[in-house]
Structure 1
């Protein structure tokens, strides 16, 4: 997979175009340096671009936000006003609300930022029906390969998915997958050699703590937040008990919950809630947290390709590989034919499914395995869930991603797929 300095087209482009045609305000959020500014500039060549990273522009916007925005919109005519780092102005949201309440034209404003500028319930509620919020994640493997968006979730949600619909996946091996995990998905950073790449990822985290966090909430203990980020990188794909984490970080539990919320709003970590059926008792309370970018997680943990060898810490690959799969699925979700949600599931007697995708009419259970071989026993939790557990009576597809190279069926709509199936063309029509 050769890397170039060329701009990599993003799969979210089609969703962004649709949003601009259907809403007065489009709010594009996501981690810093993930390519939001590049995407909107590439898509909206005629739009007026202003950045609130410029201190003079920010000062003018804070002094008279409604006047500044009205003037910019009048100058632009039908083209959108694009405001980069919109979260830096606390007065921007209400001013935009007033303008779009007077003018019902679609596509007036495109906002980008590392966190959602519309954070208050009052403003968010008043903009219902006027605004669409989209999230741009780090690059997926399909995007780095310049391939179409993965349709694997739509495929698995069919009444009778067939392996023949999946193009033969790329014959990758364990080392190839480790390289992808170490690379991460940040456009300018992922192509660097390992050592400068990991240094840059660690500098990135420092910049987020020093700069972006303050846009959401002033914090009294930035060192404690930095410690918590390191802990979340080490615990990716684990259920998090915030009381235990609070003791470790020597913080109040409420503070840890607050810090985790900040990290989610900055798209550094994502949370998979525990799935429960429509009726019945929740089996487990703790959510699972995943570090959004495995390149950053491995950089914080000082891991390299030798770290996963026997004699070092091969067990570390499991959580990172699971978070990598969650990331690939999350990036593809907005472009599927229907709206799906990701969860995890574990019963009181410790049966578990790594990822559970709820499509309403069908559930898809996903397991992730770090071996190159697979057996029927690897499907025991998926089978129990579908036949005797809370999935009984529901339509359930079971998927097991592994590091081998064969597409396999194990009956009862249970399939073992090479991990590279996540970026392989699929015919789900």
Structure 2
């Protein structure tokens, strides 16, 4: 274990502890190598640990799942049985269901894996109320900097959010932001020199294609899937035309849809659905896809600091910065006081909101600007949406995240915040 893995805090820990106290099965999913195993072994060190990466253990589970689980849990009192890489067994889910149907004790099983082991609808439905599923994403910047969890969403839906409640954001310049985007959030990889880091990230993608994908569905054309991943890295923060992807990858459209679903289930991609007001037909309903780790997206595209210089490809920063902000927000959603859902919004006349955070009666409308300056024109879509558009029946807060240093108010619940406010302390 490296020092980085050992000491960097994971904001999900309180949620995991609560899940263990309230459910019979805790299902921790997320990309491989983000620290799931390290987290559960440290947090639940008094439980029993097995991994289905061990071929002998997997064979035993597959041969007699109920018998093995009974044997493994018989000497455990209040401790959990931790099963790592649980998705590798096709018979485990039903056996766990049978065990917890006869034993009502909380915290019996902690499962980890790169995808959800409970893929069969009837098994998942029968475990309703007995299982909690949580997702561990790559490290957020707040975790890397050992800062408190980002509470910007809860701040924004207050009756009167005040800039003074947002602690002084870290002074971060454009070069520093690009470094954070290039590094990504994988604990063992992010601090390597960029050449070694990007090689490891590309090797990581190869390993996912060769190994993890098969746990979900056999893929007849792994090379085409690899091409699709490269295409998605180049389209992070964009609405996706599956017909276009079908032509580029020489796959049928239904196969492209299946492969995208696999990448979502492996937490390689995040899909933002289109928020709709129900008011009319002029709202675009295409989803937007984001790469779940900007470090991997940059490695696949061979991006470095030089990529974003003014005489090279500075516009490439826009989509990556949008995905970076979305990823920071998404990692913090489970720890907010209220429940939120994340969307994007666009109208047929090209008004758009990059990230729309739906808190029920409150909406937080987020725009991302890859510039160190901000002005009133950057708020035109946010203000129209809340005053004259589909958000007029709800309370809306508008935020433009930008690469400058100042916290600014533009009136009517509209604020410009440095991107680094996403790891600032907020007091309210």
Question: TM-score range, shorter-chain basis?
Answer: over 0.9
Could you say which residue in structure 2 is the equivalent of 1:297? 297
- How far apart, CA to CA, are the structure 2 residues paired with 1:124 and 1:45? 27
Unpaired runs of at least 5, structure 1: none
Residue 9 of structure 1: CA displacement?
1.6
Quote the offset at 1:240 in angstroms. Answer: 0.3
Contact persistence 2:275–2:343 (CA under 8 A): yes
Alpha-carbon displacement from aligned partner over 1:290-349 (angstroms, at most 9, x marks no partner): 000000000000000010001211111000000000000000000000110000000010
The answer to whether the Cα contact below 8 Å between 2:282 and 2:348 also exists between their aligned partners in 1 is no
1:99 aligns with 2:88: no
2:130 matched residue in structure 1: 130
Q: Secondary structure at the match of 2:97?
A: helix
Deviations along 1:153-190, one digit per CA (max 9) or x if unpaired, are: 10011111000100010010000000000000000000
Q: Residue 26 of structure 1 contacts residue 109 of structure 1 at CA under 8 Å; is this kept in 2?
A: yes
Give the TM-score of the pair, scaled to structure 2.
0.98
Decide whether aligned partners of structure 1 residues 415 and 253 sit closer, same or farther in structure 2, where only a CA change above 3 A counts.
Answer: same
User: CA offsets per residue over residues 226-283 of structure 1, 9 Å max, x none?
Assistant: 0000000000000001111111111111000000000000000010000012554461
2:370 alignment partner in structure 1: 370
Separation in 1, partners of 2:397, 2:77: 50
The reply on whether 1:416 has 2:416 as its aligned counterpart is yes
Separation in structure 2 between the aligned mates of residue 285 and residue 256 of structure 1, nearest angstrom: 19
Q: CA, structure 1 residues 81+358, in 2 after alignment: closer, same or farther (shift >3 Å)? A: same
1:162 corresponds to 2:169:
no
Whole-angstrom distance in 1 between the partners of 2:284 and 2:244: 16
SS in 2 for 1:118: coil
Q: Counterpart of 2:344 in 1: which secondary structure?
A: strand
Does the 8 A contact of 1:47 with 1:76 survive in 2?
yes
> What is the match of residue 341 of structure 2?
341
Displacement after TM superposition at 1:25 (Å) = 0.2
Contact 2:5 2:38 (C-alpha < 8 Å) held by counterparts: no
Q: 1:37 to 1:296 in 2, by over 3 A?
A: same
Matched, 1:235 2:235: yes
Residues 81-131 of structure 1 show CA distances to partners (whole Å, capped at 9, x for unaligned) of 000000000000000000000001100000000000000111111111110
Alignment gaps of 5+ in structure 2? none
Q: Does 1:47 find its partner at 2:51?
A: no
Which residue does the alignment assign to 1:21? 21
Partners of 2:26 and 2:294 in 1: CA distance? 28
Match of residue 286 from structure 2: 286
8 A contact 1:276–1:282 mirrored in 2: no
In structure 2, the residue matched to 1:248 is 248
Counterparts of residues 19-418 of structure 1 (less than 5 Å): 19-281=19-281, 283-418=283-418
How far apart in 2 are the matches of 1:57 and 1:282? 55
- Structure 1 residues 7-18: aligned runs within 5 Å: 7-18=7-18
* Residues 348-393 of structure 1: per-residue CA shift (max 9 Å, x gap): 1010000000000200000000000000000000011111110112
Q: 1:270 aligns to what SS in structure 2? A: strand
Cα contact 2:276–2:285 (8 A) shared by 1 = no
SS in structure 2 of the partner of residue 110 of structure 1: strand
- Whether the 8 Å CA contact 2:279–2:390 is kept in 1: the answer is no
Contact map agreement 1:294 1:320 (CA 8 A) in 2:
yes
CA contact (8 A) 1:225 1:259 kept: yes
Query: Residue 26 of structure 2: SS of its match in structure 1?
Result: strand
Alignment partners' CA distance in 1, 2:263 and 2:323: 16
Counterpart-to-counterpart distance in 2, 1:184 and 1:137:
11
Aligned to 2:314, the other structure's residue is in SS state coil
Kept in 2: contact 1:141–1:423 (CA 8 A)? yes
2:426 maps to 1:426: yes
> Is the Cα–Cα contact under 8 Å of residues 291 and 297 in structure 1 kept in the other structure?
yes
State the distance in 1 between where 2:357 and 2:316 align: 24
Query: How well do the aligned residues superpose, as a CA RMSD in angstroms?
Result: 1.0
Give 1:7 shift. Answer: 3.0
**Helix, strand or coil for the counterpart of 2:7?**
coil
Scaled by the length of structure 1, the TM-score of the pair is 0.98
C-alpha distance in 2, partners of 1:318/1:156? Answer: 24
